[in-house]
Amino acid sequence: MTEDREPLATLSTRALRVDYPIFGGTAAAVRGVSLSVGAHECLGVVGESGSGKTQLFMAVMGLLPSGAQVSGSALFQDGEILGLPPDQLNRIRGSKLAMVFQDPMTSLTPHLKIGMQLAEILVHHRGLSWRDAERAALSALDRVHIPDPRRRLKQYPHELSGGMRQRVMIGMSLLCEPALVIADEPTSALDVTVQARILELLRELRTQTGISIVLISHDLAVVASLADRIAVMYAGRVVESAPAAELLRGARHPYSALLMQCVPDFHRARTERMPFLAGQAPGAAEPERGCAFAPRCPRSTERCTHERPALVAVHSGAEVACHHPLT
């Protein structure tokens, strides 16, 4: 690796595909995604359930079940990470590349105390002694603003509230000073008020440490509050990506625009009907015929049902895959 330039991107994927063999063919969870996260950048990835957003990053982390077929490439800090042998992968995972999952109840080991789970990571990855590791765990809890951290270290996951567990998860991911943290629906299991505080925490940590973040969510409002750039995924592909400010001012893809409408606005007059997207996204097992969004799209035409739109750059930094973009 050349020393005289910073890596262009902390993480970049190229034509990443994830397929699962099923009776009678394959199910494509991710259909060729190329995106990148720069240093100190926050990339927001938005999409409904089944859009492939989680599968994509699980593939990067090497956390998919053994039946999954991953192809394409994923470069982490200029090194190919797909298909790395387990011992090399384990040196990267959990230390330089960390992931925070949706439901902290199931991602924290229920029968181990919090302090133990935190310290274990440091002992394993950094070779610290248990005593030093416990001290580091204490400061990690402090960093994520958990009140009374000494007492919490001795508690089990079920003794903490959902919001606090999520803070512990975030603290855990930061222990080894990662370059990139992937946060998969970190607030979906939480109340709206707690949600705001967790996102605030992530923002603060980013300012302090300069880590890159990938924030995955089905809720555009969550992503918009933190992201520098937003990528919108639908049915296993990226359909639009742009700087956050630009996307929020005016989305180009009809799907993105509809998602914008679903963001609640208390300043708008109260309407009887809640905005929504009709129908539902196609499943991974369904074969692609033209644009996957066409059946639900108010702007779709004959062409959309036959010809799949390619992801085309609008300018450097923004791209959209649509035959009839909005602007």
Partner 1 sequence: MSEPLLDVRGLGVDYRGVRALGEVSFQIYAGETLGLVGESGSGKSTLARAVLRLIRASRGQVFWRGMDLLRCDAATLRSQRRELQIVFQDPLTSLNPRMTVAGTLAEPLLIFERDLTAGDRHMRMGRMLERVGLAESMLGRYPHELSGGQCQRVAIARAMMLHPKLLICDEPVSSLDVSIQGQIVNLLSDLQSEFGTAMLFISHNLAVVRHISHRVAVIHDGNLIETASCEALFAAPVHPYTRALLEAVLVPISVPVPVCAAPDPTGRGRV
Indicate which single residue of 181, 222, 233, 239 sits in contact with partner 1 (rule: CB under 8 A).
222
Q: Is 286 in the site for partner 1 (CB under 8 A)?
A: no
DSSP output for 246-297: HHHH--SSHHHHHHHHTS--TTSPP-SSPP---S-PPPTTSPP-S-TTGGG-
The residue range among 6-14, 115-123, 175-183, 192-200 that interacts with partner 1, by the rule CB under 8 A, is 192-200
Q: Is 131 in the site for partner 1 (CB under 8 A)?
A: no
- Which of these, 18, 1, 30, 10, lies nearest to 75 by C-alpha position? 10
Pick the closer one to partner 1 by CB: 199 or 238: 199
Phi and psi, residue 193, nearest 5°: -70, -40
Phi and psi, residue 98, nearest 5°: -120, 155
Pick the closer one to partner 1 by CB: 133 or 259: 259
Pick the closer one to partner 1 by CB: 176 or 221: 221
Can you say whether the dihedral through the CA atoms of 41, 43, 44, 50 is positive or negative?
negative
Could you tell me the end-to-end alpha-carbon distance of the chain, in angstroms, rounded to an integer?
41
Instruction: Give residue 62's identity as a one-letter amino acid code.
Output: G
What is residue 93's DSSP assignment? B
Indicate which single residue of 124, 197, 299, 308 sits in contact with partner 1 (rule: CB under 8 A).
197
| Number of residues lying near partner 1 (CB under 8 A) | 51
Q: Is 192 in the site for partner 1 (CB under 8 A)?
A: yes
Q: Report yes or no: 71 and 17 within 8 Å, Cβ to Cβ.
A: yes
Least distance in angstroms from the C-beta of 263 to partner 1: 5
The residue range among 53-61, 150-158, 170-178, 257-265 that interacts with partner 1, by the rule CB under 8 A, is 257-265
Compose the 60-89 pattern: x for residues touching partner 1 by CB under 8 A, - for all others.
------------------------------
Q: Is 24 in the site for partner 1 (CB under 8 A)?
A: no
Q: Report yes or no: 265 and 278 within 8 Å, Cβ to Cβ.
A: no
> What residue ranges bind partner 1 (CB under 8 A)?
48-50, 145, 147, 161-164, 167, 190-197, 199-200, 203, 218-222, 224-225, 244-245, 248-249, 258-260, 262-267, 270-278, 280
